[in-house]
Amino acid sequence: MGAKLGGDGDEPMSQAREAAAAPSADGSKDACFDTIEISGSIKWFDAGKGFGFIVPDNGMPDVLLHVTCLRRDGYQTAYEGARIVVEALNRPGGLQAFRIVSMDESTARHPSQLPPPRTHVVVEPTSGMVRLEVKWFNRIRGFGFLSAGEGTPDIFVHMETLRRFGITELRPGQFVLVRYGNGPKGLMVAEIRPEGWGDAPSSH
């Protein structure tokens, strides 16, 4: 199994922050720890959360990669599928990248270039523009659900639909404006806009 997030999703972040803050620029503070050189590929990396994971080639558990480690070694982000070689430390919470030896992005997939999953279809809108609440959304899985309120059917929204309308992420409790239609497994978002867009209905 790969490294797991804590129940609130903050545990790896706090561990990563502590570890990233510990070493000096030349890593001297961690010089007393043994590092392991690991080759692998980027499983995912979320710049907004500030961390991601590497899948080692040798079958070891996933390695936590923190944004501070990336930037200290001259990288701004890490794209899914990129090949990477790191020196890792075995922390209490699991393996964590300490220094990036090399990264080859020739095998990477930029988020804008990722193909839509086979389950993704484009639907024709059958509703007017309505204001819905984000019930759940996961960027890594690439989809989520919106709700018009208790007792109404959930409306599926796909990451590809967000990208088409220039939206990068949704957060639970956020309100958005959408038009939706009938998909193969239920209602699906056909168009999505930020709240307050255009001449949309008032949220008050």
DSSP string, 132-167: EEEEEEETTTTEEEEESSTTS--EEEEHHHHHHTT-
H/E segment holding residue 15: helix 11-21
pLDDT of residue 122: 75
Spatial distance between the Cα atoms of 199 and 204, rounded to a whole number of angstroms: 14
Residue 185 in contact with residue 151, Cβ under 8 Å? no
Query: For 143, what's the count of Cα atoms within 13 Å in the CB-facing half-sphere?
Result: 14
pLDDT of residue 164: 83
Measured CA to CA in angstroms, residue 48 lies from 45, 60, 66, 81, 109 at distances of 9, 26, 11, 18, 18
pLDDT along the chain (204 residues), means of 10: 38 42 40 78 84 91 92 88 93 88 83 50 86 88 88 90 84 93 88 76 40
Q: Supply φ then ψ for residue 135, to 5 degrees.
A: -90, -40
Neighbours of 87 (CB within 10 A): 17
Q: Which domains does the chain have, with CATH numbers?
A: 11-111 (2.40.50.140), 130-194 (2.40.50.140)
Predicted TM-score (pTM) of this structure: 0.44
Spatial distance between the Cα atoms of 72 and 39, rounded to a whole number of angstroms: 19
User: What's CA 204's distance to the chain center, in Å?
Assistant: 32
How many distinct helices (H) and strands (E) make up the chain? 3, 10
SS3 per-residue string spanning 21-38: HCCCCCCHHHCCCCCEEE
Break the chain down into helix, strand, coil percent, rounded to 5: 15, 40, 45
Residue of 13, 81, 20 whose CA lies nearest to 51: 13
Residue of 136, 159, 162, 134 whose CA lies nearest to 148: 134
